Amino acid sequence: MIPVKNKIDIRSLNLPELQESFKNMGEKGFRASQVYEWLWKKACINFDDMSNLSKDLRKKLEENFTINHVKIHHSQFSTDKTIKNSFILHDKHLIEGVLIPTPGRMTACVSSQVGCSLTCKFCATGYMERKRNLNPDEIYDQVVLIDRQARENYGIPLSNIVYMGMGEPLLNYKNVIESIEKITSDDGLNMAAKRITVSTAGIAKMIKKLGDDEVKFNLALSLHAANDEKRNTIMPINEQNSLRALAEALKYYYAKTKNPVTYEYIIFDGVNDNIQDAIELAKFCKHLPCKVNIIEYNPIAFASYINAGEDKVEAFADYLRKQDINTNLRRSRGKDIDAACGQLAIKDMAS
């Protein structure tokens, strides 16, 4: 029996590598550039659709390469027009991504890992096992599919992207950065880096690396307590990345990029909702230019946390504003379909 030839995922190759492959196939280098444009600018997932290539070349591509693209597995529509998608990957793993329409914005929330290795107590994904990192093309595909969904359902293209789905982006650093390069490049989707926000649970050394790389996109820190004892309980990652270490890393990041940081803060009833917590947060905010997004909590079956009362949330926000801290209250979207912040978890995750 003749063994089946192992095909290369063509999107795992950069342009020079693709040009070298074409040279080995006896094809001219400019043909590689044409294919590269089809893959990343036009988001093409089928060699037969590359209409300016000869049939012979398309056949060669089919014989030597594959395009391991992401597909929509299932979509749920919320009463507030949010759309949650489960995406199926080439190896049958499932991830989730969300389209969030709000007045003036059309936002894609994308995942960076299959599952998550962190164990944040309030987050559904944190109760899952991390299966693997997503490749740059798998993150890129989520953006393409959600943008298409926005155009088809609401007649409006994506305006913003948040890396706030499943997984910790900074523990998949290289692939996340490469995906953003593809999304923002003239050779890719040509979206503005300032329209992209990467959210982290707080990996101090990787925040410093963002500074060293002088990234142009926005950074958000999922904070939820400015007290080490409380944050250790809510987010065990804090035990290795203390608030002091995070503050030092964030100051370094700001010095390198001049990008203000967003702090995400969920106010849990009886946990981090009193004025002393607000005082501690205000003190943490003085380290560098920032803003605070107070996020409504979305209960999950695995955890006993509940959202703080409206009066406590307002008092908390009012204190921060009196300290001249830019503070926004964010209402959850897609709660009725478990699409809101902290609720993403695949119920039937493929093994």
User: How far is the C-alpha of 182 from the C-alpha of 176, rounded, in Å?
Assistant: 10
Catalytic residue check, 96: yes
For 152-205, the pLDDT digits (tens) are 999 999 999 999 999 999 999 999 999 999 999 999 999 999 999 999 999 999
Is the fold of 8-66 the same as that of 71-337? no
Please give the full DSSP string across 166-187, using - where no structure is assigned: SS-GGGGHHHHHHHHHHHHSTT
Domain boundaries, the chain: 8-66, 71-337
Q: For the sheet containing 160-163, what is the strand order?
A: 71-77, 83-88, 94-102, 105-109, 160-163, 196-200, 218-222, 261-266, 290-295, 326-330
Query: Does residue 348 or residue 163 have the better pLDDT?
Result: 163
Scan for tokens 């380290």, then name that residue: 287
Average pLDDT, the chain: 90
The active-site residue out of 17, 44, 96, 116 is 96
In terms of pTM, does the model score above 0.85? yes
**CATH class belonging to 71-337:** alpha beta
Band (5; pLDDT cuts 50, 70, 90)? low
Angle at 194 between CA 193 and CA 199, to 5 degrees: 90
160-163 and 132-133 strand pairing:
unpaired
**pLDDT beyond 80 at 347:** no
Q: Encoding tokens for residue 323?
A: 């300290």
- Yes or no: say if 37 and 187 are a contact pair by the CB < 8 Å rule: yes
- Nearest alpha-carbon partner for 97 in 350, 344, 273: 344
Kindly state the average pLDDT of the residues 213-229.
Answer: 97
**In 3D, which of 111, 169, 183, 193 has the Cα closest to residue 140?**
183
pLDDT at 43 over 90: yes
CATH fold for domain 8-66: DNA polymerase; domain 1 (1.10.150)
- pLDDT digit string (tens) for 291-336? 999 988 877 666 778 888 889 999 999 999 999 999 999 775 545 5
Q: Which of 116, 120, 290, 341 is catalytic?
A: 341
Which token pair is 20? 């070298």
pLDDT tens track for 128-148: 778 899 999 999 999 999 999
Separation CA 140–CA 215 (nearest Å): 18
Instruction: List the one residue out of 317, 350, 343 whose CA is nearest residue 120.
Output: 343
pLDDT the model gives residue 335:
53
Let me know: does 10 contact 66? Beta carbons within 8 Å.
yes
Return the minimum-mean-pLDDT range out of 62-71, 106-115, 127-136.
Answer: 127-136
Is 314 an active-site residue?
A: no
Kindly report the backbone phi and psi dihedral angles of residue 12, in degrees, each rounded to the nearest multiple of 5, phi listed first. Answer: -80, -5
